[in-house]
Every structure is written in structure tokens, then in C-alpha cells.
Amino acid sequence: MIARVLWSFLLLACALTTHAATLEQGLEQLKSKDFSHIEQGIATIAASGDDNAELILNLLLNGEIYRHKKSNELVTIQGKEDKQLIIVNLFDDSGDSAQTVSKRKIKKVRINNKLRASLKSAIASLKLNSNDPVLRLEAVNQLIGKLNPVLYQTLLERQQTESDDRVKSLIDVALAVTDLNSQDSDKASQINAIELLSESLQPAARNALQQFVDETDNASLKFKANKGLRSIDERRKWAGHAETLFFGLSLGSVLVLAAIGLAITFGVMGVINMAHGELIMLGAYTTYVVQLLMPNNIALSILVSIPAAFLVSAIAGIMIERGVIRFLYGRPLETLLATFGISLILQQAVRSVFSPLNRSVATPEFMSGVIEINPVLSLTLNRLYIIAFCLIVFALLFMLLRYTRLGIEVRAVAQNRAMARAMGVRSEWVDAMTFGLGSGIAGVAGVALSQLTNVGPNLGQAYIIDSFMVVVFGGVGNLWGTLVAGLSLGVANKIMEPWAGAVLAKILVLVFIILFIQKRPRGLFPQKGRSAEG
């Protein structure tokens, strides 16, 4: 506290000298060749409260302010004409003062490193008054560890009025860092500072504590700071775990989305559809085409793409079922080969129509950005949307199979085809619809994938093996199994990635599943009851 009081006295002194400072006075001082005058000028401009102050300081920092030798006016360069320069006076928006001069007629207002540093903090302190919390946050971040008495007081005042919590807590950190390292601080305020910093997850807080531990001679303070460091590290570790979990869940959601259509065609119908990946690809290309059709409204185009992709892939799926698969029921290995042939044809068709190059699909604005939980844990929005999307698709599909007439008929045919037919279920129609449903879901998965990767002819191939693994791992014919398997494989992959690398993690997961199937050939959640005996 005493430190703060001391600072405020110093500030008072400063405030008196710069009283009634105006922008013009500051600009006059910039014309000097003496660095100390320029420094005063910077302070004057910063304190002037003028709207243009920040702009001028930035120009100065970038070395874009010149002094016209003859008129002694401050100018900036507007353009070049032959070897001459077009210059214009500062604050001349109309361009009346524009004139063409040779290079030698003007002189740059020079700054040195010391001035550069004070410019930066002056700009930061100006930014503190910005309306945008992000800019304010950036400003405080820049100021941490570089507070002079004036800035300290500015921050102290700012802290009282600050409405944004993140900015407020960062200001606390900035003040505490200064309290901790200041010569004038007494032990009590230093302890206060350590406690405050220990609570914070800001990287700057940890750095300050670490530095303090390295430099201080006071054993009790050092002990406290060390304790704080440990608690910070502990919480950072948890944040790391949470982040891994989040990444894993988002990867798992992608796997679930890709696999869930397969869980229907393979699990419920017993059809091995190797063209499933290509149906995903068709969905992704549909997104691309819809976006080409409505380039001005990306957000809407994504929403339109979802039903469009569902329809395109569902129709393609029904055509595959009616044209090929229905002749092969009961011969799974033949189905596998025939659908693989279809996947090759679809790949080449896309390659011929859209070119073999990857296409990129724009991400709508509402999906880009991050949610910052705390300074060391932030969640990217597009991954969050994918997780939510996956859960919604799963819930809809689950309800459809559970509560609608189609769902009941699908399950009836899956359990006992002959009996279902005897009860009047049109099994052929149900087959086509089921296959269409599974394929349509694949198309919807394609919309989600188009937001994560480039859209290309090989998009589907990359996911087909993973999808089969998820379905088989979860237990064939079990939607819950697919969900659990997909999410857990995603998380397992991300947990292993830091120490094994992405490729090795994937190999390990594959090997694990191969071994797992040996042990439990029916997957995590095997089907029970008579239908399972087949």
C-alpha cells in the first residue's frame, strides 16, 4: 500500500508539470534534435487526451514523421513521384498542403531505443482508454513489468472503473508485478503481491514470480513465491489436461460423425459399404458447391448445406443400394468388393468434375474465434461446434430409430427379416430407406469435415478405415457403442500424441483395436439376445 501512495505522490508531481498540455505543444517538442526534448514531447502528446494522440505516436514509432527543413512543419510522406517525394502536413485530410520535394528537403524525426520503449508504453496507456476490451487487454499485457509511476497511477485509476473482468484481473497482475519488484515496496505489500500473482494464471504472473525467486535474498518471501509457483503449475497442468480432453473430444466427434452412418448400414443392415467415405466426400463437395452458389452469405450457406448434403448423399446411397447392393444381400465379402468399386468410380468422377486439387471451404464467422476460459485454456469455437453438432446428429438419429415408424421397421427387419415381412413390413423399402439414412448422415458428416480440412477427392479414403474401426470397436449394431468408441478413441489419440507423435499415436490406436478385436470380437457393447446369434 505504501508503495502505491508513494507512486501517487510522484504522479502528482508529474501531473503538475504536464498540466494543460496540448497536442500542439507536444508536436513542437518533436521538432527538436534533442532526444530528451522529444521524450518530453511524447509525454505531452500522450497526456494531451487528444483523439489523434495515438495515431501520431504510432507514426512516430514507425518512423513515418518527417520535419520539412524549410517550413519547419511536421509532415508525412504520401507517395513518390519520379525521385521526388509527395509530402503532406500532419492532420491535413484535404491534402491541400501536399507538395513535391526532393528527399534532402525533409528530415526524419529520429528516435532511439529508449524513446521506442517509452513510445510503446505511451501507446499502451492510450489504448487503455479504448472501448474494445481486447485492445485494452493487449495494452495492459504490454505494460506488465514496464510501469513507471505515471502509468502505475493510470492503471490504478483504470482498475477502479474497469468493467471487463479479464482486463481488471490483468491490471491487478500488472500492479502486483510492479509492487513485487519495486525498491520502495515493503514486505507486506510484496507478500500481498505474491499472493495475488499466485492466484493468477497469466503467463506474465508466473514469469514475474520465477524472476523474483531467482533474484530475491529474502528466504521467507522466496518460500512464499515458490509455493505460488507450484500452485500455478498445478493449475496449468489441469488446464493442459482439460485442453487435451477437449481436443480429444473434438477429434472423437469427427470420428463419431464419420462412423455413425456406417453404424447404421453396417451395424443395422449388415452391409459393408466401402463407398461410405466417398459419401462423406460427396457431402463435403455439396458444401463447396452451395458456397459457390451463395458466396455472399457464408453462414447461411453452411446451414443450407446440411440438408443439401444429406439429400445428395442419401440419393447416391439409395441408388447404390437399389443398383448394386440389393443383389448381394447375404454375401458380405462380395458387397465389400462391389462397393469398393463404386468408391473408386465416385472418386474418379469427382476428380474429373472438380479437378484433383483440394478445394477449401470458407468457415462462417460465427464458427471462428475462441472462447477463453482462463489465460492458459481457450477453446476454439469451430471444434466446439463440431462437438455440439455431433451430439445433435446422434440424438436425432437415436430418436428417429427409437420413436418413428421407420425406426421401428428398421429394427424389426434387422432383427428378423422373415418375421418382419410376415407382419407386413415392406423390407425392400426399409432397406433402401435405411441405406439412404446412413448415407445421408455420411453427407452431413462431410459438411462438418469441410470445416476442418480441405475438400478433395481423397477425403473419404482417409476416414473409411477409422470409421470401420470405430464401429467394430463399439460393437456392431449399437449406436451408443459407436458414440463411446468414437469419443474414447479420439481422446486416446490426443493423450498419446504429445509423447508419441501424431502418426505413432494413430498406429498404436490401430494396433490396439486389432488386438482388442481378438479379445472381444463383438466390440465394447456386444448385441445381446436372439438377434445376436443370427
* Contact string 324-353 vs other proteins (x = CB under 8 A): x--xx-xxxxxxxxx-xxxxxx-xxx-xx-
- DSSP collapsed to 3 states, 255-289: HHHHHHHHHHHHHHCCCCCCCHHHHHHHHHHHHHH
Neighbour order of strands in the sheet with 74-81: 99-101, 84-89, 74-81, 66-68, 106-108
Residue 81: phi and psi, rounded to 5, are -140, 115
Question: Strand, coil or helix: what is 96?
Answer: coil
Residue 33 or 331 with smaller CB distance to other proteins: 331
Q: Does 504 bind other proteins (CB under 8 A)?
A: yes
* DSSP per residue, 389-421: HHHHHHHHHHHHHHHSHHHHHHHHHHH-HHHHH
Instruction: Give the interface segment with other proteins, choosing from 30-38, 206-214, 293-301, 522-530 (CB under 8 A).
Output: 522-530
Residue 392 or 532 with smaller CB distance to other proteins: 532
**Residue 435 near residue 320, CB atoms below 8 Å:** yes
Instruction: Give the interface segment with other proteins, choosing from 46-54, 97-105, 158-166, 515-523 (CB under 8 A).
Output: 515-523
Q: Which of residues 350-389 bind other proteins (CB under 8 A)?
A: 351-352
Cβ contacts of residue 134 below 8 Å, gap of 6+?
none
Q: Does 511 bind other proteins (CB under 8 A)?
A: yes
Q: Does 170 bind other proteins (CB under 8 A)?
A: no
Cβ contacts of residue 493 below 8 Å, gap of 6+?
248, 251, 505, 506, 509
Alpha-carbon Rg of the chain, whole angstroms?
33
Q: Does 522 bind other proteins (CB under 8 A)?
A: yes
CA distances from 184 to 178, 189, 205, 220, 464 (A): 10, 10, 20, 18, 66
Q: Least CB distance from residue 248 to other proteins, whole Å?
A: 19
Q: Least CB distance from residue 427 to other proteins, whole Å?
A: 14
Q: Least CB distance from residue 142 to other proteins, whole Å?
A: 41
Instruction: Give the interface segment with other proteins, choosing from 217-225, 389-397, 403-411, 502-510 (CB under 8 A).
Output: 502-510
Among 50, 270, 319, 398, binds other proteins (CB under 8 A): 270
The CB-based long-range contact list for 166-172 (8 Å cut-off, 24+ gap) reads 166/133, 166/137, 166/372, 167/133, 167/136, 167/137, 167/140, 169/200, 169/202, 170/137, 170/140, 170/141, 170/144, 170/202, 171/140, 172/196, 172/200
Instruction: Give the interface segment with other proteins, choosing from 112-120, 193-201, 428-436, 505-513 (CB under 8 A).
Output: 505-513
Instruction: Give the interface segment with other proteins, choosing from 188-196, 288-296, 384-392, 501-509 (CB under 8 A).
Output: 501-509
Residue 151 or 274 with smaller CB distance to other proteins: 274
Q: Does 476 bind other proteins (CB under 8 A)?
A: yes
Q: Least CB distance from residue 318 to other proteins, whole Å?
A: 16
CA distances from 122 to 19, 20, 115, 349, 386 (A): 17, 18, 10, 61, 42
Q: Does 14 bind other proteins (CB under 8 A)?
A: no
Q: Does 418 bind other proteins (CB under 8 A)?
A: no
Number of residues that bind other proteins (CB under 8 A): 56
> How far apart are alpha carbons 172 and 156 in whole angstroms?
9
Q: Least CB distance from residue 501 to other proteins, whole Å?
A: 8
Q: Which of residues 442-461 bind other proteins (CB under 8 A)?
A: 461
Q: Least CB distance from residue 441 to other proteins, whole Å?
A: 19
Q: Which residues bind other proteins (CB under 8 A)?
A: 266, 270-272, 274, 324, 327-328, 330-338, 340-345, 347-349, 351-352, 461, 465, 468-469, 472, 476-477, 503-504, 506-507, 510-511, 513-515, 517-522, 526-527, 531-534
